[in-house]
Chain A
Amino acid sequence: MSRNNIKQVWALLMVLVCVELRGSGRASAAPICVHGQAGCHFLSLADLFDRVLQHSARMHSISSDLHSEFEQYVLPSRNHIGRINRHCHTATILTPNGKENAQRLAREELTEVILKLLVAWKDPLWQFHQNMVHQDDFNNFSSNKALEMSYMVHELRKGVEKVADKMQHLGMISNSLSGLSSPEALDPSSDTSGEAQAMSDHDLLYCFRRDSNKVQNYLKILKCRIVPENGC
């Protein structure tokens, strides 16, 4: 079974590499253009939002599955310390805790929160996957899920960035988001990288499940606020 596992991992890695290469070379192919120029595939903002929402929904479902699997199979074998002391490394990011709070936020701020969250989780998830491969706690299926999770965070972040670009282009939001693309501007990620490593696996999964849910809800609110045509 380990050979199959390694093969699957290699296959998935190859797929990821290819996708990455293709993603980087996307500018050469027919890009999803924002302005509707000739020679590129035009996507409306509503379509972009739909795609992003689908992505985030899938990401959240995977995280839920992983968390429940962890609690079901791994936790009983470990000594379980009190969960009240859990501390997510993304706690420093101020996130609205309710509907009114989220609606009170401006569009730019909401988008910024989403991006901050996504950026904060890229490295810890990769680390988590690396740790999981070497451990015996998780089965192969779970390690594939972890890999997919980290990949999806990356993709979702790029998607949200595209949505933000489009919104900026359409004049729906101001241009204050332009500085977010670089990881250095996002302090929490650099500060909390050490904290992220100190987290236990269970806490990490718990925190990520919550944060993916936050992202999904924020994106929904954003979408229904900006493009309320269908599905709101």
Chain B
Amino acid sequence: MWGEVGGALVVLLLSEVLDCIGISPPGKPVLINCRSPEKETFTCRWDPGFDGGLPTTHHLYYQKEDSYGMYECPDYQAAGSNSCFFNKSHTSIWVNYNITVVAINSLGSTVSDPLEVDVMYIVQPNAPENVTVSVVKTEESPHLLVKWEPPHEADTRSGWITLTYQLRVKRQNKKESEWEEYASRKQTQLIIYSLHPGEVYMVQLRCKLDHSLWSEWSTTTHTEVPDYFLKERSIWIVVTVFSAFIILLVTFTLAMKRKYVKHCLLPPVPGPKISGLDTQLLKSGRSEDILSSLMNQGFPPTIATKDQQVDYLLVFDSEQVTPDLQNGQTRTNNSIDHGCYDHSLLMEANNKEVKVGGRETVEQGYSEGLESTFRKTKSLSTDVTSHPYPQKKPFNNVTETPKQAPVSSEYRSLSHHKDLWDSLARHLDCRETVVKSQSNCNDKHLSSQNIVTPSKAIGCAEVQRWTKSIGLQVLVPKMDKRQEDYSKVSVVENDNVVLLKRETVPLNCTSCKVGGNRSEKCFQQKPCKPNMTVPAKEGVHIGSNGYVEPVTMSHTL
């Protein structure tokens, strides 16, 4: 017992001494892995570990699943240091190997952890060999043809090994470019398209068995793609054809839809619409009519209303009283004031016939005064006499006036517009409305007097009667019972005076002109002639027939 204790103490002392010196049994080796490149042989490698300061040897021992006994590695050199190579005769597939490595030095030995290996699952082939990359130049663009061979030790011919490959390509010059990977099942060549000219490409390959580990990447193969002009003819051809087709289509469509395109691009410009101007008349080319139509528009300035729908005022003799006139009778109480309006339509003279035309719509602004209405009616009259409107609304008992001013016995029966009468009546009533009238009508003067004086125009008296009946009643001289529905203008003066004359007149015809300062002035007229002409006023021309015609162009223009 004392001997054993002494022995143990000695050993302990010795190890302590040895530790102080720096030597020890070897450290534990570690088996790194075992690899089989072709499923027929395999190699195991280990890490020797700390050798303990003494020369250490390593031994590998293995045990197979289906046999008993521990065997040592058959070949320590073939695969380099710290490795064990199992050749074909020592390799069994589908058999578990239990491998351990023992490190031995003079002080002791250490056994590594066991490693269980089935060759089937430690296969890792070598990288593909003879990788050749060539640039194939074709019409459109060059491409890379990559060819390779399987590792020489792999037996693919007998079907023992089936390899699948993987290829990756990268451009060398471009920084931060990624590898492009391509797979190839069993083929030993691959074509890479869409290259950049003037670039250097790097190609790498690797392979694996069906369920094994991937091999290492093969050595990089560099290939330069020469500079070539990217013709890309085919693309341009396609683009050209396509665009030509599109253009043809568009042209055809436009040609078919000419009208619509024209309408869209060049919208029809509305022709100038001058009220009263007749394009048809212009087209007919008769200068006289054209001039007359033009002049009509200018004189007098009328407010444009709707289309030339002309309503005419009914003018009747004193015997003829229209029902409407009756209604308005109450309004005209003061017939005296009509004298102010005498410069309007009120022409006395018995043998005057008034031909009045009226517009359908009356100005809203009655306050404008009589003058406006006067003007309106005056213009209307001129319109009527001189210028027919082919597009006029047919009136009752309308017979068309001929185009030429000299009218025969044709006339129109005019319907009157109640508003116009009202306005007139109002004007008659209200003295203050005579604003614009140039006639300085002295109302008082008028009112106080009986306007009608015998010396004055009979027309005044007639006017009075006329006003009562609210109508532009034709003042027909008693002597002449003829019912004339119209009258002709003999003279127009001062923009607010119209002298009317009858077409057919007896020998003695007097005209009473009331207007302006000469409110009660009457003067004898020369023997009336139907065709008396009066010196034309500006803007007005009395035609041979007594109709007011627009002045000729030479006057006004």
Contacts and interface: CB of A to CB of B under 8 A. Distances in A.
A231 B210 CA distance: 14
Nearest to A61: B211
A interface secondary structure, majority: helix
B98 interface: yes
B210 A57 contact: yes
Most chain A beta carbons < 10 A, residue from B94, B116, B157 = B94
Interface string B148-161: 00000001111110
A86 B65 CA distance: 9
B120 A224 contact: no
B118 interface: yes
A21 to B, nearest CB: 34
Contacts of B88: 98, 100
B157 A232 contact: yes
Interface residues of A, number: 25
Interface in B57-114: 65-66, 88, 91-96, 98
A158 interface: no
Nearest to A232: B159
Most chain B beta carbons < 10 A, residue from A95, A97, A99 = A99
A95 B40 contact: no
A210 B158 contact: no
B93 A103 contact: no
A97 B157 contact: no
Interface in A108-123: none
A91 to B, nearest CB: 7
B94 A99 contact: no
A64 interface: yes
Contacts of A84: 65, 96, 98, 116
B211 to A, nearest CB: 6
A214 interface: yes
Contact of B94 (A61, A213, A225): A213
Contact of B159 (A60, A61, A64, A224): A224
A83 interface: yes
B283 to A, nearest CB: 91
Interface in A139-193: none
Contact of B120 (A61, A210, A232): A210
Contacts of B442: none
Given A57-B210, A220-B160, A232-B156, A213 B92 contact: no
A223 interface: yes
A97 B93 contact: yes
A122 B156 CA distance: 31
A103 B158 contact: yes
B502 interface: no
B39 interface: yes
Contact of A224 (B98, B116, B158, B186): B158
Interface in A206-232: 210, 213-214, 217, 220-221, 223-225, 231-232
A69 to B, nearest CB: 15
A217 B65 contact: no
Interface string A49-85: 0000000010011001000000000000000000110
B160 A217 contact: yes
B275 interface: no
B155 A97 contact: no
Nearest to A87: B65
B162 A210 contact: no
Interface string B417-439: 00000000000000000000000
A57 B211 CA distance: 10
Contacts of B98: 84
Interface of B: 39-40, 65-66, 88, 91-96, 98, 116, 118, 120, 155-160, 162, 186, 210-211
Interface of A: 57, 60-61, 64, 83-84, 86, 91, 95, 97-100, 103, 210, 213-214, 217, 220-221, 223-225, 231-232
Given A61-B211, A97-B95, 18 more contacts: A84-B98, A86-B65, A97-B93, A98-B40, A98-B91, A98-B92, A103-B158, A210-B118, A213-B94, A213-B120, A217-B160, A220-B159, A220-B160, A221-B158, A221-B159, A225-B158, A232-B156, A232-B157
11 contacts: A84-B116, A97-B94, A97-B95, A98-B40, A98-B91, A99-B93, A100-B88, A210-B120, A221-B159, A231-B162, A231-B186
